[in-house]
Structure 1
């Protein structure tokens, strides 16, 4: 039976999430919480559905606000009816686009998403390695200096010149920019020649996983081909190394980002996982 999630379902949903965590090929976008109280709080702003039988909750999914529409959390299923669960979830989309994320090897979920009308947009590959792999190279090239702050206009200009698809940041206000980098788990490392920004690496710390994520590396087109991308990765690793609980650096690249993939391979980082991004257009019939 498919129905809205109840507080009494929380232990079963947590068990499903932990089951998902046990195998990389089961990965989908899902709540971060792995504690009953935290999960209840995280679900407050979402439309959460479960598929149940006599043994309890067999599948879970939810819709939450995301970008210009909604994001599908899940479906996470250990024997649930994925097509029916997705159909019920999409009834709550209210004509908005719905995004979904699944491990490339999660064939049951990918088949269900595609049957429900979701189209694959791109695949994102993740690469990782120990900080020590890069920190020895963490120095500014001759004639440049390191900065941990950029004026908002230069930050946005580098994004634009790097042809990044993360267009939402191009619409940030200066106040949003300041708020983002005021967070304790966010860092920026930039290289400058005089007052001219050559590029930057942006990090987010994930101490619970002993990891720092490089969320973006930007090098101005006029400065490419000089090894600055590798230097920025090394500087990012050195910044992460100032936190004793962080041991690993992780980066990501979409399937069309061939220079980034080549950079990460050249740096010695190893491929660790692949995630497919899907979208169902809000104008399509459910």
Structure 2
């Protein structure tokens, strides 16, 4: 598929975590476990200081933003940060950008055109197209990701979405998806953990609801915390040996990379990541 979409070596399996959960020490441990990319969630600021922290604490792992919010991080400042990072750690950083959510950004208008304008500024500041990815769910932004970036970084998606997104993107662009994981022996506990993470805030956000409706889910699946079927599609639950095939289903459906998002977000993700790593074929360094 898209091994040449970007020169950044992101591998097949990475880790998605909010910036609040990522420290230099955790980054080094994630790399030691064999994961190949760290995706920084939570709309990092334009100075991208956390990227310096994570790259400075590691040796080879790639770092990506998942994602920089175009409404809160000015494009010129982000471009300057990209070049600073590239000079210090060449070839290890992938810039993920996206339009966020109308519920969270007061100035949210015409998001598609705003993305185009943001990409224009990145072009003017010589940020290469193959060093950036777009948060993309709908067909129009997926096509923009194929045309103006290395590819797409969709969030809160199913393998069925991944298969459809690959068809829209075409064969060459990068497709790197996030998928949630609730590890545990007890089904009721993992279901409750996964439902809490999906319901608040994601099932309250219009763009995610619209995408899930495109996948065939009814309003009844999206309301009241989400149906069991929906939660199971969006979060892999159970013991590690049962979770791993659910993550690999994205790769089988056409993704190049899956980013493991450990639930709950407030926990240290390393216990789950260490348990999962061997089942995903990762080797400790």
Structure 2-normalised TM-score?
Answer: 0.30
CA radius of gyration, larger in: 1
The structure with more helix, counted as a fraction of residues: 2
TM-score w.r.t. the length of structure 1 is 0.30
